[in-house]
Structure formats: C-alpha cells, structure tokens
Amino acid sequence: MRVLVHIALRNLFQARRRTALLGSAIALVSASLILLLSIAHGIEDSLVTSATTLSAGHVNVGGFYKTTATDAAPLITDKAKLRQIVMDNVPGVEGIIERHRGWGKVLSPFGTIQSGLQGVDISTEKRFLERIQLAKESDYVEGGRDEVVGDPSKLAQPRTVMMFAANARKLGVRVGDEVTIQIELLGGATNTLDATLVAVARDVGMLSSFAVLLPTQDVLELYRIRPETTGALWVYLDDIDRAEAVRADLAKVFEAEGYRVMDHVAAPFFFKFDTVMGEDWTGQSIDLTTWEDEVSFLTWVLTAFNAVSWSLVTVLVGIIAVGIMNTLYTSVRERTREIGTMRAIGMTRWQVLGLVLLEAGLLGLGATALGTVAGAAIATGIDLLNLPVPILAVQAILLADTLHLKVVPSNLVAGVVALSTFTALAALWPAWQAASMRPVSAMSHIE
C-alpha cells in the first residue's frame, strides 16, 4: 500500500499543472457546496428564530371556539388549566407564553396595512426581547435619524403598539406617532382602538410583515373577550427536536382530560378557518401544532433554495466528473508502458485499479478538504460581516434583513467524504481501463 500511495502522490506531483487545475476545480465545487449549505442553514436558522419568536412556540396549544356551527374564533378558554396540564405532563419545559391571535387593519394618516395582531404580556416576553433588534429610525423613515429610538418595554402600558420596519415604512409612521387599529368582531361589527407606536423592530423576513404587537389587555378589549381566554400557549422546550413527540403526547393527554382535540394538520392556524367553520360542532376544540406546522407555508423557501442549490452542485459535480475521467484517462494513456511494466513485474489487475483510484482519491481528498475549509472560512467571514440585504424580496426569502450563513461542522465532514468518494468513483472508468490492459499490449505501446 505504501508504494501505491507513493506512486500515486509522485504521479500527481509530476503532472502538477494538471493536478493544480483539476484540484482547483474540485476545491471550487467543494467551497460552493459549503457556501450554499451554509446559506441554507442560515435560512433555516433564521426561520427557526423568527418562527419561534413571532409565530409559534416549539409546541403550540391553540384551538378554535365556536359559538355557532358556522363561525370560528382562534381562541382557547380556561388558559390557566391548559397551562397546568402542560406543566404537569411535559418534561423539559423552559417556558410558556401566551399570545392572543387577531387580524385587523392598522391605519395611519399616510397608509393602511392588514396584519396579524398579537396580544403580548411584555413582562413574560424575555425570549422575544432577546431576539428582536430595534431598527434605526432611518430604516423606516426617510430622512430619519441614524439611531435607534423607542422601547418595547413600553408595551406594558395600554394603548401602545410595536411593529416591524417594513410596516412602519408603509404606514409612514415613527415612534411616538398614533395609529388606529380596526378589527371585525364575529357578528360583523367593527371595533377600533387608538394606540401609540412605542418601538419599531428590524425586519426578520416575511413573518415580520404580519406581526403587530399590542398589550394583551388591548386585544381583550378590542375583541371583547374575557381575561381567562387567549389565542394560544406557546410552549418552549429545552430541546426543539422534541417538539413533534411532545405535540403527539399532549394530544393524548388533552383527549384523556376530556378535551376535543383536532386531527393534526401541519398548517398554521389561519389556514384552518374554512375547515373549522365547515364542521358541525360548537364550543372548544384544541389544536396542537409544532413551530414547523405554523410556518409550513414558508418552508417552500428552504425547499426551493435547496432544490436550486443541489441542482447547481449536481451540474458542477457532473462537469468535474467528466474532467476527472478525461484527465485520468489521459494520464493512464500516457503511462500505458509503465502500467504494462508493473503488470509484467507482478502487479495484479486489482492493484492497478487501486493505484488509479488512489490517485483520484488523494487528489479528491486534498482538493475537497482545501475547498471545504475555504468555503467554511468564507461563509464564517460573510456571516461576521453582517451584510445588509437591501432588497425586500430577498429579505423575504432569506427571512432576515442581513445575510446570515451558518456553518455546520457535520456538513464539512460529510462534504469532504462525499466529494472525495465521488472523485474516486469518477475515476472508476479510467481505472478499469488501466486494469484491463494486457501487459504485452501495454508494454509495446508507443508513446
């Protein structure tokens, strides 16, 4: 084996220009793969962060309340009892918060938006406050100050509102301005409330366009509902990967406690209105979802990005495969006499096959390792630069207003293993050609 490694390395060194060119191409593909994976993981990371901050807990205890068979409100009643059931039956709960769910118009003298309304108790929103960054005034007001103004903790006061930069821009408002919130009640009547804008946060992609936050008390007042009622309990676990198992367990627990539990549908609550309104029951039904269910309408972003990434990488890898085959085939042709001599001396077909594969494998291993390290370094560098994404459509896809890349160590190892294995596989055909040579023909080959 030692001599085969030595011959393979020396051959690579001897054809160093060819080795450098092919190696660079393999390294480039490896770096591209790592960069694309890092962007995908960045999007996923942003998705998890924004989803579990703005749209859902890891597991959500929500539901619908129907006063008649044909209406539906996204409410759960007797929230204290539901919370207690969760606390009693779910290990590893890090926290539970309440979010009222509503939908309405937000009006200003300069514009109107339709948005989801979330009633929050800001004193319990530690996670939200940790993850949300306030926007500079210049981000949402033309000619605004290049500094952060506003304070989310003021949401503890009644008649206040917080929103994201994109919505503030559309409404043409700044911190301290008044907006009017208008909602429609079950019977079709409308109710309004004037509130002061106390904080504007930086956008976190598409989800932030549909989130306007109000104090819980204001939402109760707007919808004329009782304080023991809320929209959903957002349950945060010590391990997000347990979410689906916990959801399934909780469904059994609530059924055992006598609650009507809706069949699990992996969709956000606002996609379920038509279905629920078409069902012939009244009263309370519990709907248990995970954070992935609540943002399932956004996972297409990740799916589409992954599809484009993998298509691109597949094309690049295909080109590289042809390059490797061609290069090694040429190399085998050039070394026909040498291969014939080695066969005559006593090298078996398998050893010849192994030698060519080893050459390709070593080239692949070296180049992919180099490319992977370079890709990881570039990805980390870009992430650290916190580059702003100026285009709203791209922000929506990336689910963030800055370019976030996440390097996952297991991807690096998998990338090196997969691409160097692939390189060796691409060498199978020229290796087989070399191994199939008859020594007598190979030795009489004219170079």
Partner 1 sequence: MAIVQLQGVVKEYPLGKLVVSALRGIDMTIERGEFTVIAGPSGSGKTTLLNLIGCVDVATRGTVLVDGQDTGRLSDADLTRLRLHKLGFIFQSFNLINVLDVHQNVEFPLLLSGTLTPGERDKRVRSLIDRVGLTEQLIQRPAELSGGQRQRVAIARALVTNPAIVLADEPTANLDSGTGASIIELMKELNRTEGTTFIFSTHDHAVMSHARRIVKIRDGAVESE
Supply the DSSP symbol for 346.
T
**Distance separating alpha carbons of residues 109 and 106, to the nearest angstrom:** 10
Q: Quick check: 111 and 171 in contact, CB under 8 A?
A: yes
Which is nearer to partner 1, 230 or 331 (by Cβ)? 331
Which is nearer to partner 1, 384 or 446 (by Cβ)? 446
Shortest distance in whole angstroms from residue 431 CB to partner 1 = 17
279 counts as binding partner 1 under rule CB under 8 A: no
Which is nearer to partner 1, 298 or 342 (by Cβ)? 342
Scanning residues 284 to 343, which ones bind partner 1 (CB under 8 A)?
337-338, 341-343
Shortest distance in whole angstroms from residue 435 CB to partner 1 = 10
Shortest distance in whole angstroms from residue 327 CB to partner 1 = 17
Of 346, 386, 409, 446, the residue at the interface with partner 1 (CB under 8 A) is: 346
Max CA-CA distance within the chain?
Answer: 97
**Sole residue written with tokens 């749209």:** 55
351 counts as binding partner 1 under rule CB under 8 A: yes
Shortest distance in whole angstroms from residue 354 CB to partner 1 = 12
The residue among 335, 376, 128, 388 whose CA lies nearest residue 236 is: 128
Nearest 5 degrees, angle CA 266-CA 270-CA 272? Answer: 60
| Options 95-103, 198-206, 231-239, 437-445: segment touching partner 1 (CB under 8 A) | 437-445
Which structure tokens are listed for 285? 């039904």
Which is nearer to partner 1, 2 or 409 (by Cβ)? 2
**Distance separating alpha carbons of residues 62 and 247, to the nearest angstrom:** 11
In sequence order, the 6+-apart residues with CB closer than 8 A to the CB of 336 are 437, 442, 445, 447
**Total residues contacting partner 1 (rule CB under 8 A)?**
24
Of 2, 241, 410, 446, the residue at the interface with partner 1 (CB under 8 A) is: 2
State whether residue 273 is helix, strand or coil: helix
Shortest distance in whole angstroms from residue 376 CB to partner 1 = 33
Helix 16-50 with 349-385: angle, nearest 10 deg: 50
Q: Quick check: 257 and 284 in contact, CB under 8 A?
A: no
Shortest distance in whole angstroms from residue 326 CB to partner 1 = 21
Of 304, 315, 344, 394, the residue at the interface with partner 1 (CB under 8 A) is: 344
Of 149, 178, 443, 445, the residue at the interface with partner 1 (CB under 8 A) is: 443
Q: Which residues pair with 148 in a beta bridge?
A: 136
Q: Quick check: 220 and 226 in contact, CB under 8 A?
A: yes
Which is nearer to partner 1, 172 or 439 (by Cβ)? 439
Which structure tokens are listed for 159? 């008649």
Which is nearer to partner 1, 23 or 116 (by Cβ)? 23
393 counts as binding partner 1 under rule CB under 8 A: no
The residue among 136, 131, 163 whose CA lies nearest residue 148 is: 136
Which is nearer to partner 1, 14 or 112 (by Cβ)? 14
CA distances from 353 to 1, 43, 410, 433 (A): 13, 43, 31, 8
Which structure tokens are listed for 38? 């890092």
**Distance separating alpha carbons of residues 370 and 372, to the nearest angstrom:** 5
- The half-sphere exposure of 211 on its side-chain side, counting CA atoms within 13 A, is 24
Which is nearer to partner 1, 323 or 439 (by Cβ)? 439
Shortest distance in whole angstroms from residue 10 CB to partner 1 = 3
Shortest distance in whole angstroms from residue 15 CB to partner 1 = 10
Shortest distance in whole angstroms from residue 348 CB to partner 1 = 5
| Amino acid in the structure at residue 192 | T
Which is nearer to partner 1, 188 or 346 (by Cβ)? 346
Of 11, 60, 208, 372, the residue at the interface with partner 1 (CB under 8 A) is: 11
Shortest distance in whole angstroms from residue 16 CB to partner 1 = 12
Which is nearer to partner 1, 84 or 330 (by Cβ)? 330
Give residues in contact with partner 1 (CB under 8 A).
Answer: 2-3, 6-7, 10-11, 13-14, 337-338, 341-349, 351, 438-440, 443
